[in-house]
Amino acid sequence: MSVILFNPTDEVLEGFHIGERYAFKPNDKMKVTDRAGRYLMTHLSNRGLVSLEYGDDEKEKAKEGLERNKTFKMKQIGNFNQLNEANKIQGLPYAQPPEAVMKYAKEIGVDLKQPYVVENVQMQNALVGSGLMNEIKNENTELKSQMEELKNQLNEILAATNKQVNDQKEVGAKKDKTK
């Protein structure tokens, strides 16, 4: 007996059974023995591999496989993000995402929990080369000096307020002595 296995996903699914390699390219169908089919379905069905039997609606089976594939990708991203959150809490370094997980995240549109990464070194070099970095540094220096002026003004106001309070206390104390 045999069974037909179908890969409706956009990725190559690979499996081994009794030393024999089975590689299912996207939208690939392959006729395998029942035993190999059951084994491969056990290990690859969560990634989207489906079995076709006589009379099955291929589009419906493909839809089921694609749903399982998306769930698999979301789980991989979730596991990676949980690992990095746990590492962050424990003070451990971030794990670097595997290439496949990065591809899944980009495909689905989900952010990965990872350290700050300069995605485009050329962009960073352009910032330095165009003088924007110097402009930002100058602005930062200007803001620091403004902040220092504000601190000095605040200290002057507090000193004047404290002086007034002390003067009022002295006037009140003099009135009490004259009574």
Task: Give Rg (Cα) of the chain.
Answer: 34
Q: Distances from the Cα of 109 to the Cαs of 48, 60, 142, in angstroms?
A: 19, 25, 39
Which residues share a beta bridge with 23? 14
Per-residue pLDDT of the chain (179 residues; tens, 9 = 90+): 889 999 999 999 999 999 999 999 999 999 999 999 999 999 999 999 999 888 888 899 999 999 999 999 999 999 999 998 888 888 888 888 889 998 999 888 888 877 655 555 556 666 666 677 778 888 999 999 999 999 999 999 999 998 888 888 777 766 666 65
3-state percent helix, strand, coil for the chain, nearest multiple of 5: 65, 15, 25
Q: What integer pLDDT is reported at residue 110 of this predicted model? A: 84
How many CB atoms sit inside 10 A of residue 109's CB? Answer: 6
Q: What integer pLDDT is reported at residue 80 of this predicted model? A: 92
Q: What integer pLDDT is reported at residue 71 of this predicted model? A: 94
Q: Which among 43, 82, 49 has a CA at the least distance from the CA of 67?
A: 49
Q: Is the whole-model pTM more than 0.85?
A: no
State the Cα–Cα distance between residues 37 and 132, nearest whole angstrom. Answer: 60
Q: Distances from the Cα of 149 to the Cαs of 137, 138, 153, in angstroms?
A: 19, 17, 6
Tell me the three-class secondary structure of 29-94, residue by residue.
Answer: EEEEEHHHHHHHHHHHHHHCCEEECCCCCHHHHHHHHHHHHHHHHHHHHHHHHHHHHHHHHHCCCC
State the Cα–Cα distance between residues 22 and 12, nearest whole angstrom. Answer: 10
State the Cα–Cα distance between residues 45 and 49, nearest whole angstrom. Answer: 5
